[in-house]
Structure 1
Amino acid sequence: METPQTVPVFDGHNDVLSRLWRSGGPDAASRFIRGEDAGHIDLPRAKAGGLAGGLCAVYVPSERVLDADGNWPTPSRSEALDVTTAMAGLLARIERESQGGLKICRSAADIRTAMDTGAFASVLHIEGAEAIGVDLDLLYLLYNAGLRTLGPVWSRPNVFAFGVPFRFPSGPDIGPGLTDAGKALVRACNDLGILVDLSHLNDAGFWDVAEISDAPLVASHSNVHSICPHSRNVTDKQLDAIAETGGLVGINFGVLFLDPQGNKDKAMDLSNLVRHVDYIVDRAGIDHVALGSDFDGTTIPDALRDASDLPKLIAALREAGYDGEALDKITHLNWIRVLERTWGG
């Protein structure tokens, strides 16, 4: 009988680069490679839990001081440039020092090869494009460095769009849509084959991307707004549009985006997470749901201490009635299909 450990997971979002960068020190790459007690992901725990790879986010933190409207302040471009290049460089160092343990993937074929050979299939992702100027020159440089997915915003405004603030209960219809620079960014991403991530965009920005983009619509780490009415979760109308384009929603493990009352309940049962999967499957179909854990970037249930506990989630999904074919789609095949269609080959 197939065991949960045999199901590989390709995950739509993690913040391990942010965690390693924040902790500092010249040994950040080696700590990821050899393993440590901190955080949710490193190579040993990934192997133990079947985490075969995922989108590794570059995120520039905001100062922990909210503005008058309760929003996070946007970092300057110079600050964002320093942090973005540092984290992208850190990922490159990990690849070099891991001696085959991690591979930066630029194509779906790269992901399949890495998974087949046991390397961690890492995709460079930017969560908030503050480092990129309106001339977009840095976008092309980062593409050559391996950038293949990009969220124009985190949950704060920048020159490209308006990031949806963290609010509960609230819909995502907060603020204006894409700027002219943001529309140009989406078109450039389409031309290059960079996936545009919708997870932190507000409602107006979502529909602007839907109108402009010719690629599948993807919310890499969001949940169901009809279950948990958090501003960061996708509405039924958004979910329908995502499905119509062949896109997907990556289920976020964050308790604040799972709990119907918006509680920070770390003791919640994994059935709460399965409920969000069920909803998307029932409304949109099995091809349009995947995983977007937000490991190392949010508070997750105690039942999923870190990446090594992923077999518990596989077991919960299996118990809920998902067979081997469905589990393969949820855990990795849907992501690879959407990335391949977006990237081309």
Structure 2
Amino acid sequence: MIIFDAHLDLAMNAMEWNRDLTLPIQTIRRREAQLKDKPDRGKATVCFPEMHKGDVGLCVATLISRYIKPKSYLSGWYSQEQAWAHAQGQLAWYKAMEVKGALRQITSKNQLTEHLEAWKDIETEHRPIGYVLSLEGADSIISPEYLDKYHSQGLRAIGLSHYGKGVYAFGTDSDGRLPKVGKELLKKVDKLGMILDLTHLSDKCFYDALNIHEGPVWASHHMVRRITPHNRQLSDDMIKSILERDGKIGMALDAWMIVPNWIHGYSTPKRKKVTCDRIIDHMLHIANLAGSTNNIMMGTDLDGAFGFEQTPMGFRSIADIKRKLPDAMSKRGLKDEEIKGILSTNGIGFLKEHLD
């Protein structure tokens, strides 16, 4: 079974964390052992060898580049032009990985089919990992015409915001209605047939975007607000709104999203008892609302500015999706086909339906 992960910040890790993802995970950790600039140094969970070990042969890989104003508490760039150029640098890394044979960009239904067949037939750790390119936060789009440029470069999914107030939408920990420029951008997203990622949108912008965007939607890495109360998570009404559009919801492996009352810098997975069962609680809540598991997928967000200090107990690598989750899901009563759907075919089927 090829595992599909709907959200990985691969280029951010390569370009901002300076991680060579072609190397073994132990080498990456060893290189960072003495670094203190980021809380997850020495605790990386994602690299290409680990993705191969865990059969994570297909993912959604991001470009992420925020525009900020001076004195912002968020990191980013002081102009949209700088944000664009930074995202283009991330894209250049993806292209270099394609030339190296480590990655293969997927932009169409035919390419996806070919990749799935090749992954199944070629038994080697050197087979390329397929990736669908997504934009996490639209700040780097200087004008709507720049979305055409992104699309021609292979972009097939887009989220309008990240944290705080963005150019095109309000994101996590902010609130407000979708601005005019956001509405105009959504029309372009529709025209290009792209997937709208609802992740990180503020509550008001979430519903505004759903009312405007007529194309496919997913929430690539989200959890359930009923279990983990925070505006970052999906309320039951939001979940139902996604289900009405037959969208998909990706399960993240970030501990603070999985259990309530996580305190950054103090809480640990062990202290908070963050186990596989806690992830499955979120799956089952969505399944109970939907009547099936068909709308659930994985969107782990692993190495999304955190490492194994903030993953469920036992998860020290992306390969642990394959090692840990199927047995735990089976013990909670999920059938083999349901497990396969969540880890693989639900998200892949969505791509088959909505890629050109």
Question: Same fold by TM (over 0.5)?
Answer: yes
Given candidates 305, 311, 321, the residue that maps to 1:310 is 321
Q: Deviations over 1:70-102 (max 9, x none)?
A: x6366321221121000011011101112xx42
| One-letter amino acid of the structure 2 residue matched with residue 140 of structure 1 | D
Alpha-carbon distance, 1:120 to partner: 1.1
Q: Which residue pairs with 2:286 in the alignment?
A: 280
1:279 offset after TM fit, Å? 0.7
1:291 alignment partner in structure 2: 298
Q: Which runs of 5+ in 2 are unaligned?
A: 29-43, 120-127
Alignment of 1:30-179 (within 5 A): 31-37=20-26, 38=28, 39-60=44-65, 67=72, 72=74, 75=77, 76-98=79-101, 101-118=102-119, 119-133=128-142, 135-165=143-173, 174-179=174-179
Contact 2:66 2:139 in 1 (8 A): no
Aligned to 1:219: 219
For structure 1, which segment, 36-45 or 198-207, has the greater mean C-alpha deviation from structure 2 after superposition?
A: 36-45
Aligned CA distance change for structure 1 residues 279 and 149 (closer, same or farther; 3 Å): same
The answer to whether the Cα contact below 8 Å between 1:230 and 1:262 also exists between their aligned partners in 2 is: no
1:21 matched to 2:15? The reply is yes
Contact 1:46 1:308 in 2 (8 A): yes
Q: Secondary structure at the match of 1:307?
A: coil
Give distance in 1, aligned partners of 2:67 and 2:198: 19
- 1:333 maps to 2:345: yes
TM-score (norm 1): 0.86
Letter in 1 for 2:168: F
Q: Report if aligned partners of 1:9, 1:50 keep a CA contact under 8 Å in 2.
A: yes
CA offsets, 1:180-210, max 9 Å, x none?
Answer: 1111111111111211111110011110111
Asked if the contact 1:16–1:295 (Cα under 8 Å) also holds between the matched residues in 2, the reply is no
Contact 1:74–1:158 (CA<8 Å) still a contact in 2? no
Q: Per-residue displacement from partner, 1:152-198 (whole Å, max 9, x unpaired)?
A: 11112122111122xxxxxxxx4212111111111111111211111
Specify the code of the residue in structure 2 equivalent to 1:115.
L
Kindly state the Cα deviation for residue 308 of structure 1 after the two structures are TM-superposed.
1.6
- Equivalenced residue count is 318
Find the aligned partners of 2:90 and 2:285 in 1 and give their Cα distance. Answer: 35
CA drift at 1:62: 7.7
Instruction: Give the deviation of 1:137 after TM superposition.
Output: 1.6
Q: Percent of pairs identical after alignment?
A: 23
Offset of 1:121 from its aligned partner?
Answer: 1.3
Distance, in Å, in 1 between the alignment partners of 2:154 and 2:328 is: 34
Work out whether residues 251 and 299 of structure 2, in 8 Å CA contact, stay in contact via their aligned partners in 1.
yes
Q: In 2 relative to 1, CA 224–86 (structure 1 residues): closer, same or farther, beyond 3 Å?
A: same
Deviation at 1:247, TM superposition (A): 0.3
Segment of structure 1 superposing worse, 233-242 or 291-300: 291-300
Pairwise CA distance, 1:296:
1.1
Counterpart secondary structure, 1:54: strand
Higher mean C-alpha displacement, 251-260 vs 74-83: 74-83
Query: Which aligned runs of 4 or more in structure 1 are off by greater than 6 angstroms?
Result: none
8 Å CA contact retained: 1:259, 1:265? no
From 251, 266, 269, give the equivalent of 2:269: 266
2:67–2:139: 8 Å Cα contact kept in structure 1?
Answer: no
Q: CA deviation at 1:142?
A: 1.2
Deviations along 1:262-299, whole A, 9 cap, x unmatched? 35432321111111111111111311111110011033
Per-residue deviation, residues 92-119 of structure 1 (Å, max 9, x unmatched)? 1101112xx4210002332332232123
Cα deviation for residue 233 of structure 1 reads 0.5
Question: Partner letter of residue 131 of structure 1?
Answer: S
Match of 1:11 among 5, 17, 22: 5
What TM-score, normalized by structure 2, do the two folds share?
A: 0.84
Q: Which amino acid aligns with 2:228?
A: C
Alpha-carbon contact 1:103-1:122 (below 8 Å) kept: yes
Distance 1:74 1:203 in 2: 23
**Aligned-residue CA RMSD (Å):** 2.0
For 1:298-343, what per-residue CA distance to the aligned partner results, in whole angstroms no more than 9, with x for missing partners? 3322421111211211221122222221122111221122233333
CA distance in 1, matches of 2:347, 2:325: 17
